[in-house]
Structure 1
Amino acid sequence: MAEPLELYDVTIIGGGPAGMYAAFYSGMRDLKTKLIEAKEELGGRLLIYPEKMIWDVGGFAPVKCEQLIAQLAQQARIFDPTVVFGQQITGLSKQEDGTYVLEAESGEKHWTRTIILALGRGILKMEKLNIEGAERYEVTNLHYTVQELEPFRGKRVIISGGGNSAVDWANELESIAASVTVIHRRDWFGGHEKNVLRMKNSSVQVRTLHAITQLHSDDGETIGKVTVSDLETGVTEVLETDAIIVNHGLKSDFTGITDWGLDMDDWNVFANGKLETNIAGIYAAGDFASYDSKVNLIAGAFSDAVLALNSAKLFIDPEAPRVAYVSSHNDRFKEKNRALGYKDEDDE
């Protein structure tokens, strides 16, 4: 016989920046908290770019993705939330008392009063290079992400794509690789303007309105050359290479959550200024949330988490304070401050 489910005040789905900060702030609001992450580690989309430098998070200038993940994860666990890995939530059922039961794809169930959807872009899958036989080189020198920069030192690198990541990788590798060439189908780049300008003013060779159309290998294991085609004229050119990095975007999968009756489009759930969705007791935060005045930065994800948790707290207890006290005046931090050797006015 299955054990009875334990009821939580808040269940956060998604372990990226919004989900991790939501877990921390939920503790500040003295709520019984569970965080469920489909992968086996916290970090969300940041896990794709562990060595990328992030400059726009308050108090960090700059910080590597992997370091930011580690510190957010440590902060998320301060109030000992229950953290569940490897479960992709698909099902939702509302109980007679207004609580919810969530069901994972694998069958596990979770009982909760409120839900914070911090799904980011969902279960992300890289768009692969659409050339027959390309997959055989994925174990050697065809890459869809950059985990470390050092393996590319002294190599001739070709980057296919024109989004933020392609531009960032080009800039990061410019001083490490023997050469960097960016091949992009369009004549404009989706990266931040300052980073695009930096790339164009560097030694990086930029070829817009071009695409990789053929891969060549002498040994059948590694790519030695690529054919690049001019999409306007059809003229082709063969370039030698030691490594190819592909950044053609991501495909998103929200699984059964799209069947819950949420007001959403292909990428986002629509929320109001309190991060409330159209279903009572269900809130959104981070990239998954769409609303007027949305700030698409990690800093914005933190703000979303706070607003969503405050709404959840008031849903559970309408008489509760509208927001949590700041940490310098929050009773939940007194013991933790003492453990760090700090005294407050009550200790005098």
Structure 2
Amino acid sequence: MSNQLELYDITIIGGGPAGLYTAFYSGMRELKTKIIEAQDQLGGRMLLYPEKIVWDVGGVPPIRAEKLLKQIIEQGMTFEPTLVMGEQIVGLDRQEDGTFILTAASGQLHHTRAVIMACGYGIRKLAKLEIEGADRYEVTNLYYTVQNLETFRGKRVLISGGGDSAVDWANELEKVAASVTVVHRRDSFGGLERNVTMMKESSVDVRTPYALHALHSLDGKMIGQVSIKHIETEEEIRLDVDAVIVNHGMRSDFGPIREWGFDMGEWKANVSPKMETNIAGVFGAGDFVGHDSKVGLIAGTFTDAIVALNSAKVYLDPEANPYAYVSSHNDRFKEKNKLLEVNG
């Protein structure tokens, strides 16, 4: 069967920032590359917060996530990797010659010499608000992500949650909303310390330790008020709102990946400093992996991708240079540089 399939050097499972940068670097190292993404869009978690301002990518000034993602995708496509969208990989099988057959849920097969796992936390779904009847407001003014800040201009907004996205949304919405209230079960917040401080020093009304307890509609269609309850005293307070945003994290499902034999914890696969999993020929990058020097930022994801790809290159060719030449000395960029000079 494998003889009938096109053989790739590298197959990347996941089309978020880690997978896309891995594909770019794979092209730099002249490897035949394929990306397989389970969703219908490239971008991974970044698709959830397009309006978020990203400050912490080296050499890039503050930029909206949607614009940064567009640039990451464009960079990832530099060397024209093969793209397979909307296909979840459910099987990994090593062949007698050491190559791998990847099996998709659709039955489609993919043949590759090495695999790089860049699938984040697996198939992710937003954690829904666990209040009876909440789902009926999802078509009006109950939100699980912020796609457009203008949707909330001049409105009284309540955010339930304390993760980095909740903090970032509060800081962004404070500029356009009539008011912003953040309700969180704990006194401590996730996210960068500077962003948390910015939120607390702004006009954002921070209520801790409170939890969103009930939704109240004035017309049967939209939420007009909410009840929040103090975690310790159980005191209840009613607040008038025009919009409710819920950021209670994600529900993740690795599915059959857990059955492939990886050394995995609850959320991440353990890898060596070279991004090697415990399965020879399979490497990892991004949110999928955990290691002693892990940096949970997009910038750290790029480093994971570089190390994983370089390790895969040496796995495929033990005589290969363990590192790629810098772009200014890499022959793969000569023609592209000429095009930029002509068009620039």
TM-score (normalizing by structure 2):
0.97
Superposed CA deviations along residues 30-67 of structure 1, whole A, max 9, x for unmatched, are 00000011111111100000010000101211111111
Superposed CA deviations along residues 183-205 of structure 1, whole A, max 9, x for unmatched, are 11112111221111111111111
Q: What's 1:82 paired with?
A: 82
User: Within 1, Cα distance between the matches of 2:173 and 2:301?
Assistant: 29
Q: What's 2:305 paired with?
A: 305
Percentage of matched positions with identical amino acids: 63
Q: How far has the Cα of 1:341 moved from its partner?
A: 2.6
Q: What's 2:150 paired with?
A: 150
Superposed CA deviations along residues 140-159 of structure 1, whole A, max 9, x for unmatched, are 10000000100100000000
Q: What's 1:48 paired with?
A: 48
Q: What's 1:338 paired with?
A: 338
Q: What's 2:264 paired with?
A: 264
Instruction: Structure 1: give runs of 5+ residues left out of the alignment.
Output: 343-348
Are residues 1:225 and 2:211 paired? Answer: no
Secondary structure of the residue aligned to 2:341 is coil
Secondary structure of the residue aligned to 1:110 is strand
Secondary structure of the residue aligned to 1:305 is helix
User: Within 1, Cα distance between the matches of 2:285 and 2:235?
Assistant: 47
User: Within 1, Cα distance between the matches of 2:93 and 2:214?
Assistant: 50
Q: How far has the Cα of 1:338 moved from its partner?
A: 1.7
Q: How far has the Cα of 1:218 moved from its partner?
A: 2.1
Q: What's 1:328 paired with?
A: 328
Q: Which structure 2 residues correspond to residues 131-146 of structure 1 after superposition, within 5 A?
A: 131-146=131-146
User: Within 2, Cα distance between the matches of 1:338 and 1:181?
Assistant: 53
User: Within 2, Cα distance between the matches of 1:117 and 1:256?
Assistant: 14
User: Within 2, Cα distance between the matches of 1:114 and 1:96?
Assistant: 14
Q: What's 1:93 paired with?
A: 93
Q: How far has the Cα of 1:284 moved from its partner?
A: 0.3
Q: CA RMSD in A?
A: 1.4
User: Within 1, Cα distance between the matches of 2:322 and 2:219?
Assistant: 65
**1:114–1:2 CA distance, 2 compared to 1 (3 A):** closer
Secondary structure of the residue aligned to 2:112 is strand
Secondary structure of the residue aligned to 2:130 is coil
Q: Tell me which amino acid in the other structure corresponds to 2:116.
A: I
User: Within 2, Cα distance between the matches of 1:146 and 1:121?
Assistant: 21
Q: What's 2:192 paired with?
A: 192
TM-score (normalizing by structure 1):
0.96
Q: In the alignment, is the contact (CA less than 8 A) between 2:2 and 2:101 conserved in 1?
A: no
User: Within 1, Cα distance between the matches of 2:19 and 2:147?
Assistant: 23
Q: Tell me which amino acid in the other structure corresponds to 1:90.
A: V
Secondary structure of the residue aligned to 1:248 is coil
Secondary structure of the residue aligned to 1:340 is helix
Q: What's 1:345 paired with?
A: none
Instruction: Structure 2: give runs of 5+ residues left out of the alignment.
Output: none
Q: Which structure 2 residues correspond to residues 142-221 of structure 1 after superposition, within 5 A?
A: 142-221=142-221
Q: In the alignment, is the contact (CA less than 8 A) between 2:163 and 2:189 conserved in 1?
A: yes
User: Within 2, Cα distance between the matches of 1:330 and 1:231?
Assistant: 58
**1:294–1:34 CA distance, 2 compared to 1 (3 A):** same
Secondary structure of the residue aligned to 1:338 is helix
User: Within 2, Cα distance between the matches of 1:113 and 1:2?
Assistant: 11
Q: Tell me which amino acid in the other structure corresponds to 1:22.
A: T
Secondary structure of the residue aligned to 2:140 is coil
Q: Tell me which amino acid in the other structure corresponds to 1:255.
A: G
User: How many residues were matched structurally?
Assistant: 342
Secondary structure of the residue aligned to 1:224 is strand
Q: How far has the Cα of 1:4 moved from its partner?
A: 2.2
User: Within 2, Cα distance between the matches of 1:253 and 1:34?
Assistant: 23
User: Within 2, Cα distance between the matches of 1:139 and 1:94?
Assistant: 46
Q: How far has the Cα of 1:108 moved from its partner?
A: 1.1
Q: What's 2:123 paired with?
A: 123
